């Protein structure tokens, strides 16, 4: 007799959550977005949970269908519900959300909110009616809690969920789970050991913790169980009882350089994204004025309720917790052994094809990607933007401008060309650390100009490029300035005009009529708002890290 097995992804997902476990739901939704982007998940929840999820950064890359029906449970935990004798009734909402999902889909996969997806779920046997997940624990605890885990169930029939609801034992400590073995009356399959890796399996398996540990390994940069990729882990990261298991998983994720899932786990642990900034003053290599990028995390915290800043003493670099390195220095002189602790390095200044390649040569397992760049003083710039509108073409009194300093030998090499003064309307290039204009005066001059000349500084990027774009002033890019090494690269004649030398400049400017300038100006302003302004750039950045890199 020929048996035909159809193995596929689930056509939908579903879960339930109240506000007390909303921070864990964030982990499920963001990790599901990585491995099942744009798929549909049905959520039965209370109002506070829905409101909180709709504020998080980034937005989950999912089609979320909400059923707000759990407000009466918002302020209750399991202990309170047990005392009231309503925990079993509460858990029937699992079956309810399954039915809601099945109203629109052929099948659905129920997942508890304290699950972190670690690989694509693609082992569903569509020839069956129900998929069950064994707990893989010892007989004593099977007798107490049941053979199958209620945190995961796939089905394609309301008959399964309705029957499950009818066999809930309100007198048991695991009311929805203890009798799940009766679901075997349906045509069923069992998920393998690489699914639903629970903390309880680690602590209560007949094989013991050391043996379970031996089954977990890294193969082809994936965390595996007995050589098969682990599909998801199921644990409470806030529960001290599970510390050893949680640390085991985290260490394997560090070893496999899985920065996306690590970021999400630490988002769950802290209930926020944590940006770590070196605490000043630091003498020597780590010394910094806390300007440039280091103003942005403070602004992110103001703009986003799920971002916090932590000042640290054990690093000279900025990080997203736990180990995404935000390299914000002008060149590689500050590149120390901390690079080997990171899973991902975002390169601010510098060229991904030059400095980025050098970093990869030091650590070829490290992911290195281009990042954003930023103003010298983002706080001042954003205040000006809030107070003043962007000027139109005809309102700008100045055609072109350059304001800069020569403070070191590198800048001397790239900026010591007197010919620029002859072709730029307003040209100021001073020597030394004393600036000709205050920061707000300098920015207002950029705002009043149609074009701004960009000459390379200490690094191959300069604050000036992004400061010009913030005000819709079109950059004039010279050959030594890096414009392609951004998360969103700049495009010639879209965001900037390129000139080879001073003799080329005036002809290039003449070729840009008012309509073309207005389009380029708008493109520049939009790029800045999307990629650099604190209102949007954190969300843009974390979205790209999780879903695009």
The SS3 assignment for 110 reads: strand
Distances (CA, A) of 212 to 173, 190, 249: 26, 20, 12
Confidence at residue 67, expressed as pLDDT on a 0 to 100 scale = 98
What residues form DSSP beta bridges with 431? 406
Confidence at residue 412, expressed as pLDDT on a 0 to 100 scale = 76
The SS3 assignment for 521 reads: helix
| 307-349 pLDDT per residue, tens | 999 999 999 999 999 999 999 999 999 999 999 899 999 999 9
Following CA atoms 180, 184, 189, 195 in sequence, which dihedral angle do they give, to the nearest 10 degrees?
Answer: 20
H-run or E-run covering 146: none
Sheet order of strands, 222-225 included: 216-219, 222-225, 228-229
Residue spans of beta strands (DSSP E) within 186-254? 188-190, 197-198, 216-219, 222-225, 228-229, 232-234
Confidence at residue 407, expressed as pLDDT on a 0 to 100 scale = 76
Evaluate whether 105 touches 12 at the Cβ level (below 8 Å).
yes
| 24-55 pLDDT per residue, tens | 999 999 999 999 999 999 999 999 999 999 99
Query: What is the token pair recorded at 57?
Result: 């950064």
Evaluate whether 252 touches 215 at the Cβ level (below 8 Å).
no
Low-confidence ranges of the chain (pLDDT < 70): 1-7, 414
Comparing CA positions, the residue from 160, 159, 141, 140 lying closest to residue 149 is 141
The sign of the CA dihedral 527, 531, 534, 539 is positive
Residue spans of beta strands (DSSP E) within 177-296? 188-190, 197-198, 216-219, 222-225, 228-229, 232-234, 273-278
What residues form DSSP beta bridges with 426? 401
Evaluate whether 128 touches 187 at the Cβ level (below 8 Å).
yes
Confidence at residue 1, expressed as pLDDT on a 0 to 100 scale = 47
> What is this structure's pTM?
0.96
From CA 56, how far away is CA 51, in angstroms rounded? 9
Confidence at residue 23, expressed as pLDDT on a 0 to 100 scale = 97
Confidence at residue 430, expressed as pLDDT on a 0 to 100 scale = 86
């Amino acid at each position: 007799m020929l048996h035909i097995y159809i193995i596929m992804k689930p056509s939908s997902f579903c879960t339930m959550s109240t506000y007390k476990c909303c921070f864990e739901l964030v982990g499920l939704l963001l990790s599901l977005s990585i491995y099942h982007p744009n798929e549909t998940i049905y959520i039965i929840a209370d109002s506070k949970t829905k409101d909180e999820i709709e504020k998080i950064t980034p937005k989950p890359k999912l089609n979320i269908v909400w059923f707000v029906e759990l407000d009466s449970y918002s302020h209750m935990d399991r202990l309170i519900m047990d005392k009231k004798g309503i925990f079993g009734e509460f858990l029937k909402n699992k079956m309810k959300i399954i039915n809601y999902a099945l109203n629109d889909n052929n099948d659905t996969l129920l997942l508890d909110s304290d699950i972190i997806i670690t690989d694509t779920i693609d082992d569903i046997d569509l020839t069956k009616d129900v998929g069950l997940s064994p707990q893989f624990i010892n007989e004593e605890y099977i007798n107490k809690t049941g053979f199958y885990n209620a945190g995961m169930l796939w089905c394609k029939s309301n008959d399964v969920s309705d029957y499950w609801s009818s066999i809930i034992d309100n007198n048991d400590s695991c009311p929805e789970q203890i009798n799940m073995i009766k679901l075997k009356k349906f045509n069923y399959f069992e998920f393998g050991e690489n699914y639903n890796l629970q903390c309880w399996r680690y602590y209560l398996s007949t094989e013991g913790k050391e043996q379970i540990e031996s089954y977990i390994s890294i193969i082809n940069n994936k965390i595996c169980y007995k050589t098969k990729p682990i599909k998801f882990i199921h644990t409470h990261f806030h529960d001290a009882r599970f510390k050893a298991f949680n640390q085991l998983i985290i260490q394997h994720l560090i070893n496999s350089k899985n920065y996306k899932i690590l970021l999400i786990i630490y988002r769950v642990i802290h209930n926020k994204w944590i940006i770590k900034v070196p605490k000043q003053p630091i003498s020597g290599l780590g010394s910094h004025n806390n300007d440039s990028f280091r103003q942005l995390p403070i602004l992110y915290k103001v703009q986003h309720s799920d971002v916090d800043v932590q000042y640290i003493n054990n690093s000279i670099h900025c990080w997203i917790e736990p180990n995404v390195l935000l390299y914000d220095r002008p060149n590689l002189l500050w590149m120390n052994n901390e690079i080997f602790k990171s899973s991902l390095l975002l390169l601010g200044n510098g060229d991904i094809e030059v400095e980025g390649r050098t970093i990869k040569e030091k650590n070829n397992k490290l992911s290195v990607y281009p990042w954003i760049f930023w103003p010298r003083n983002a706080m001042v710039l954003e205040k000006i933007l809030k107070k003043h509108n962007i000027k139109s073409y005809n309102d700008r009194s100045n055609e072109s401008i350059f304001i800069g300093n020569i403070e070191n030998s590198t800048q001397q090499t790239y900026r010591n060309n007197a010919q620029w003064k002859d072709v730029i309307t307003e040209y100021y290039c001073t020597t030394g650390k004393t600036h000709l204009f205050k920061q707000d005066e300098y920015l207002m001059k950029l705002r009043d100009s149609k074009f701004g000349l960009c000459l390379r500084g200490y690094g191959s990027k300069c604050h000036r490029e992004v400061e010009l774009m913030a005000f819709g002033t079109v950059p004039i890019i010279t050959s030594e300035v890096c414009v392609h090494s951004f998360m969103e690269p700049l495009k010639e004649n879209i965001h900037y005009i390129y000139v080879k030398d001073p003799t080329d400049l005036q002809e290039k400017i003449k070729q840009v009529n008012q309509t073309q300038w207005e389009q380029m100006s708008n493109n520049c302003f939009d790029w800045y708002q999307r990629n650099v302004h604190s209102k949007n750039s954190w969300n843009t950045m974390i979205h790209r890290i999780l879903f695009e890199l």
